[in-house]
């Protein structure tokens, strides 16, 4: 594969941190590497990791309960950044505003999405905050679906200061749009 058709995910989907289970794996690797590089402080790195794991696992259990009404619900997403989140949360991504990752929508693609949203009664369009909101707003206007903007990275939005905030804020926004 190459990027000739604009796909910005030629090596597979890179948005793996949007499943909190993967956050634990990432943190474990970082802690292990830090322990190797700085063995004098190994105990502290391990303690920090354990704290992160305990807190995140508690949150994950709470989030899973909150996510119950969203499980199996369809959304349209702007960019292909939420498949990992969908896998964990049970939300179903029925289509993307971008025809391919990194390619802005053309009128034909938007028309086919309008048909899809109407025929499948998809209630919600979700976009990351750094993409042009206009195509998503148009889709919402033409179909009656709601449109919300989310941050998919830490510090991507003033309300998202930690890894936990990332999910907390996203889940509350998704629930608020029901
Ligand atoms: Zn991407």
Q: What is the pLDDT of residue 1?
A: 46
The pLDDT tens digits of the residues spanning 69-115 come to: 999 999 999 999 999 999 999 999 999 999 999 899 999 999 999 99
CATH classification at residue 162: 3.40.50.1980
User: Cα of 109 to ligand 1 centre, how many Å?
Assistant: 19
Residue closest to 86 by CA, chosen among 124, 58, 54, 116:
124
* Band (11; pLDDT cuts 50, 70, 90): confident
Predicted TM-score of the model (pTM): 0.89
Which residues form the domain of 43? 16-65
The pLDDT tens digits of the residues spanning 34-83 come to: 999 999 999 999 999 999 999 999 999 999 999 999 999 999 999 999 99
Does residue 153 form part of some domain?
yes
From residue 155, alpha-carbon distances to 34, 91, 160 in Å are 23, 24, 5
User: Cα of 39 to ligand 1 centre, how many Å?
Assistant: 36
Does residue 171 form part of some domain?
yes
Q: What is the β-pairing status of strands 74-77 and 146-150?
A: unpaired
Does residue 11 form part of some domain?
no
């Amino acid at each position: 594969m190459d990027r000739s058709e604009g796909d910005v995910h030629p090596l597979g989907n890179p948005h793996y941190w949007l499943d909190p289970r993967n956050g634990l794996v990432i943190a474990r690797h970082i802690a292990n590497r830090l322990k190797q590089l700085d063995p004098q402080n190994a105990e502290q790195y391990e303690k920090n990791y354990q704290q992160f794991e305990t807190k995140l696992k508690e949150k994950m259990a709470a989030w899973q309960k909150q996510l119950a009404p969203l499980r199996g619900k369809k959304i349209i997403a702007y960019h292909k950044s939420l498949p990992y989140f969908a896998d964990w949360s049970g939300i179903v991504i029925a289509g993307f505003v971008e025809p391919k990752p990194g390619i802005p929508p053309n009128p034909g693609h938007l028309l086919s999405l309008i048909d899809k949203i109407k025929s499948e009664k998809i209630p919600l369009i979700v976009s990351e905050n750094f993409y042009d909101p206009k195509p998503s707003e148009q889709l919402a206007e033409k179909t009656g679906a709601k449109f919300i903007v989310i941050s998919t990275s830490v510090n991507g939005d003033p309300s998202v200061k930690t890894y936990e905030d990332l999910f907390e804020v996203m889940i509350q926004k998704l629930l608020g749009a029901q």
